[in-house]
Structure 1
């Protein structure tokens, strides 16, 4: 096999493979069905044309038969008039017409046979078409059911073209999401460790540490100020607070004694008034 022949074979094989994948059995069946219907229509048209031709021959035959009868009457009348010469001419025309009639009858018989065969072929073809139509609809229904079942199975298993695209899209989205999450976490970690200096500040890591120390001292100083304003000392003044508490307790005891003495005086006055 030459190079060109092999190349042509490969091309035809590729084209046939593409056509097989693109071919829809339903469309092929419908196309075949329409072809058969066209053939049936051609047969019917042929029968109609043949019948028309036969009718023309039959009309021509009837006219010849009328002429035969006419020539027969002419021959009788010519004999009655002792005109044998005219009688002979009439009989010759009669014979010619009868020969034509025989030829027409032969042609009509042949046309009739052809018509009968075409009618039989038409009936047979029509029966085949009806049978094919039934099979066609059955095959189309089976193919559509198989196609729908295949689509459902591919969708459920994820092996179809569309589902494959969806699965790849989800996979890519997950990869991008995981990559972005990892990048965000890495940036947060680097930011917390101070690996990245503030783009709007000239401070470095040492400046930030010193600033944080100053802030802590300022907060402690302000806390001491608040304690002093509220009369609370620092932890070193704990003993002074205890002495103040004892002094307050003694003061409370003196107040209680004074109240008891005053109550006793009031009671004595009431008793003196009662004895009067």
Structure 2
């Protein structure tokens, strides 16, 4: 007979222990990750199986495997614990707004240009507000927005970011320029075409780290140019260092020219490739503090 109180005996910690063991399928590794010894882990799993009235793992001297019931519970526990974590982080986010604090995810190239000036003006107008900057790649920003560990994300795209449950607003319009070595014959021109770069080695921002880099590459393809990418780097400063030592050219946002890297000259492209800055946030009612901050970014 089913005990109506049985489910109330299931504890959050018990489900977490089950989740880690189901991921590792090894009691020793799971216990190590949980920072406990194996006996308490075994006891918690055994108690969970007794409460549910079903075996969750098949155990032998050589392996641990999930039963069918265990696989079903694993999917449900993953969903439950993920939703719980998001809910708790949402409450923390509300707490940050009440304490006048903003967690901001930002890509490195956004730090050159109008962003910091606008943030400084906002702080001067709101001296009680503080923020923490987290340098994150674009995919990392999306994950952090969903997990509510950041409140606002700032990144760069050729086209506006499209993601379920994520909203965006334009902060500043920029264009892509080409960075070349100061001795390059192209420096005699006021602007260059992508066709002039067809045989050059390209230093690109990382495709895996930046949607923007992939969009720039695809834009070149649409204009009939297939860039010969010889290096992929995470930060514009690394790209400029490689350009300055004659390793190739780089397509970068025009505001990167403000870095003033020795031996590097920025030239205007004849073709227009946007490098616009966007602010992103999770699609839900925003606290007044975050709304005011977003308004300040686009001014």
Of Structure 1 and Structure 2, the greater strand share is in 2
Fold match (TM-score > 0.5): no
TM-score, length of structure 2 as denominator length: 0.17
In terms of Rg, which structure is larger?
1
TM-score, length of structure 1 as denominator length: 0.19
Of Structure 1 and Structure 2, the greater helix share is in 1
